[in-house]
């Protein structure tokens, strides 16, 4: 099986990332099955994709017939066993090691084709840890997309010490030739390439506000206007989700024990308070309904 032979894809998790991955797969003409924890969540995830497709139509990025065809290719389910016939399954659940390892153990038993590939969209957890919970560690790989998935062109392909060369080649071909993404390759270390560089920068910006040295608005304005960044670090953190930023920081610090990776207390308190950024309407900035991902607008 080559990357272009993959036609049946499963995505587990219908949040921002999972829904985005499902959307790009469906837009690429693939039979796409999106699995969530329960029926209401599965329905909500598919509706989130419908809103995203409609937004693409309204912005002139997609014609209506293509949007309708893409949505028709997406089936939503609450039954993990429905993934049995998938050629590729991408895990996009919460950034929690126990949740992910349990899921990979289950998928290993459910997905019938021994040549099927099990991929994780983890931002920072060791891919090897997930692979070793299965009987097919050579078929497990990191396939890390970036938010918003339909817009950002990059995918990190992350290989472990067990990932076969064939799997690496197949998922690279799939991401580039089928999904139209640009691939960079990374070894299995916390943060991979992008987050290992990005997260210390974001944490540094949080420390600046935490110390009272500058406001969140001034930090973001400074980097946008002074360094030509399209988005300031704190607005970016809000977009990523402060819970996700904190999880990545914890993983980086656990692996490297470098102070620059340690999550600042302010970040952890905001996560505890449920102030997670755009998805909750408030983080370092406050967002109106139409600014939140997945909202009509």
Query: For residues 39 and 170, what is the distance between their CA atoms, to the nearest angstrom?
Result: 32
CA angle 293, 287, 47 (to 5 degrees): 25
User: For residue 199, what pLDDT is reported?
Assistant: 96
| Whether 164 and 234 share a structural domain | no
| Whether 206 and 277 share a structural domain | yes
| Whether 171 and 240 share a structural domain | no
**CATH code: domain of residue 267:** 1.10.1040.10
156 in active site: yes
144 in active site: yes
Residue at a domain's end among 187, 219, 246? 187
Condensed to tens digits (0 to 9), the pLDDT of residues 72-99 reads 999 999 999 999 999 999 999 988 899 9
Instruction: With respect to residue 83, please indicate whether it lies within any of the assigned structural domains.
Output: yes
Query: For residues 164 and 141, what is the distance between their CA atoms, to the nearest angstrom?
Result: 9
| Whether 157 and 250 share a structural domain | no
**CATH code: domain of residue 82:** 3.40.50.720
Q: Ramachandran region of residue 18, left (φ > 0), alpha (ψ -120 to 50) or beta? A: alpha
| Whether 177 and 254 share a structural domain | no
User: For residue 124, what pLDDT is reported?
Assistant: 84
Q: What is the pLDDT along the chain (297 residues), one digit of tens a residue?
A: 788 899 999 999 999 999 999 999 999 999 999 999 999 999 999 999 999 999 999 999 999 999 999 999 999 999 999 999 999 999 999 888 999 999 999 999 999 999 999 999 998 889 999 999 999 999 999 999 998 999 999 999 999 999 999 999 999 999 999 999 999 999 999 999 999 999 999 999 999 999 999 999 999 999 999 999 999 999 999 999 999 999 999 999 999 999 999 999 999 999 999 999 999 999 999 998 655 444 322
123 in active site: yes
User: For residue 123, what pLDDT is reported?
Assistant: 87
- Given 52, 156, 247, 251, the catalytic residue: 156
Hey, what are 190's tokens? 């916390």
User: For residue 289, what pLDDT is reported?
Assistant: 60
Condensed to tens digits (0 to 9), the pLDDT of residues 24-43 reads 999 999 999 999 999 999 99
| Whether 173 and 276 share a structural domain | no
| Whether 135 and 7 share a structural domain | yes
User: For residue 294, what pLDDT is reported?
Assistant: 40
Residue at a domain's end among 187, 212, 241? 187
Handedness of CA 278, 211, 199, 92 (dihedral sign): negative
- Given 124, 144, 162, 247, the catalytic residue: 144
147 in active site: no
Instruction: With respect to residue 296, please indicate whether it lies within any of the assigned structural domains.
Output: no
Domain count along the chain: 2
The verdict on whether omega for the bond into residue 241 sits within 30 degrees of 0, i.e. cis, is no
- Given 52, 123, 247, 251, the catalytic residue: 123
| Whether 117 and 49 share a structural domain | yes
User: For residue 73, what pLDDT is reported?
Assistant: 98
Query: For residues 179 and 174, what is the distance between their CA atoms, to the nearest angstrom?
Result: 7
Determine the structural domain holding residue 64 and report its residue range. 3-187
């Amino acid at each position: 099986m080559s990357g272009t032979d993959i036609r049946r894809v499963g995505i587990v998790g219908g949040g921002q990332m999972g829904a985005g991955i499902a959307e790009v797969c469906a837009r690429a003409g693939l039979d796409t099955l999106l699995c969530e924890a329960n029926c209401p969540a599965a329905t909500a995830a598919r509706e989130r994709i419908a809103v995203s497709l409609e937004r693409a139509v309204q912005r002139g990025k997609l014609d209506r017939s293509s949007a309708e065809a893409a949505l028709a290719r997406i089936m939503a389910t609450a039954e993990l066993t429905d993934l049995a016939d998938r050629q590729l399954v991408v895990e996009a659940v919460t950034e929690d090691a126990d949740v992910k390892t349990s899921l990979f153990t289950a998928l290993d038993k459910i997905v019938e084709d021994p040549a099927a590939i099990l991929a994780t969209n983890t931002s920072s957890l060791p891919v090897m840890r997930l692979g070793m919970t299965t009987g097919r560690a050579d078929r497990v790989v990191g396939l890390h997309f970036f938010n918003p998935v339909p817009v950002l062109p990059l995918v990190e392909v992350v290989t472990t010490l067990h990932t076969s060369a064939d799997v690496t080649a197949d998922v690279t071909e799939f991401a580039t030739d089928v999904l139209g993404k640009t691939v960079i390759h990374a070894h299995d270390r916390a943060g991979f390439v992008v987050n290992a560089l990005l997260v210390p920068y974001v944490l540094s910006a949080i420390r600046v506000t935490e110390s009272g040295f500058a406001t969140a608005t001034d930090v973001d304005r400074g980097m946008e206007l002074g360094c030509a960044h399209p988005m300031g670090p704190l607005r970016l953190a809000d977009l990523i989700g402060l819970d996700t930023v904190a999880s990545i920081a914890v993983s980086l610090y656990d692996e490297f024990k470098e102070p620059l990776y340690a999550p600042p207390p302010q970040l952890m308190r905001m996560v505890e308070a449920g102030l997670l950024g755009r998805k909750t309407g408030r983080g370092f900035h406050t967002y109106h309904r139409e600014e939140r991902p997945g909202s009509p607008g």
